[in-house]
Amino acid sequence: FALEAGTPPEIERVELSSEELARAMSPGHRLAGTGPVALEELRDESLIAFGRGASTRRRVDDALAEAGVKPRIALEANDLALVRSLVARGLGLAILPRSFLERPGEPISHSLLTPPLHLAVVLWWQRGRRLAPAARAFVDFALASRPPR
């Protein structure tokens, strides 16, 4: 399973759903509790970002560039729980999957972005690879279980 900003050529895929990204900050941050925020408003904020090459990082970097914002990356980490913990401690803002921010954990504040940012949630496997019967059954199950569009 992956959050996808682009499909590598060697990968076959099934799109399962879409994940909205949201801004996360410590409860004491000056922007905590405010409504949706435009990406331009993140111009002077320290960001905690995923490492270069991660789908979420690519999507956020592209959106910030489109908004004319050069991000100020304070820290990089690829573990969602670590990023959330750093945000909760006030070390910077992050843009993370909304569903992850709504889970129980250290107290954080979050809000949506405007315009909204989304990543596809996909099931990946190597192109041209013959899938074992159980794997093929799982792919078929995932296809049949997708929510209607």
pLDDT digits (tens, 9 = 90+) for 76-108: 999 989 999 999 999 999 999 998 888 888 899
Contacts for 132 with CB less than 8 Å, ≥ 6 apart = none
Around 10, how many Cα atoms within 13 Å sit in the side-chain half-sphere?
1
Q: Is the pLDDT of residue 149 over 70?
A: no
Mean pLDDT, the chain, integer: 90
What average pLDDT score do residues 53-63 get? 91
Percent of the chain with pLDDT over 70: 99
- pLDDT of 39 higher than 70: yes
